[in-house]
Structure 1
Amino acid sequence: MSVALLVLPDFLLVALGWVLRHRLGFTREFFAGCERLVYFVLIPALLFQSILRTPISAGNAVLLLQAAFAVIAAGVALS
């Protein structure tokens, strides 16, 4: 039952898109604009808000900084 509740919003979103496109006549340009809005504005805002609300202890913060430094160093070394 819990798996069905987890995927239900995804299926409802697909169904909403189908209804908007085929029943209400929204154009592809409308969906392209919505996609850009979600990708460039809404998802970064959601990630920023999620990061701000996540409690992080000092020990975990040090580990996160070390991991970030390692990823950046690997990127610089590989480029």
Structure 2
Amino acid sequence: MRRFEVGDNVRVDIPNRDDADFDRYHGQTGKVVEVIEDDAGQATGDERDSYLFGVEFKGGNTDHFRWRDLRPNPKEE
């Protein structure tokens, strides 16, 4: 079960301040532009981990996140 689809507006919400990406991405908003399926869910036992979401931010840079680091952002900012 995928939580997000291409075109969805999202906000990055990294709960761990010690995460290397916290300062770079926490609180930023963007749009899902790609969904990649892999086998991470088999390793973790959580089907939701089988999806990696490519998020494009203002300025055009893109990075990839798992579902746990993204929240819906119904307003495009």
Higher RCO (C-alpha 8 Å, min separation 6): 2
TM-score, with structure 2 as normaliser:
0.16
> Which structure has the larger Rg?
1
More strand by share: 2
More helix by share: 1
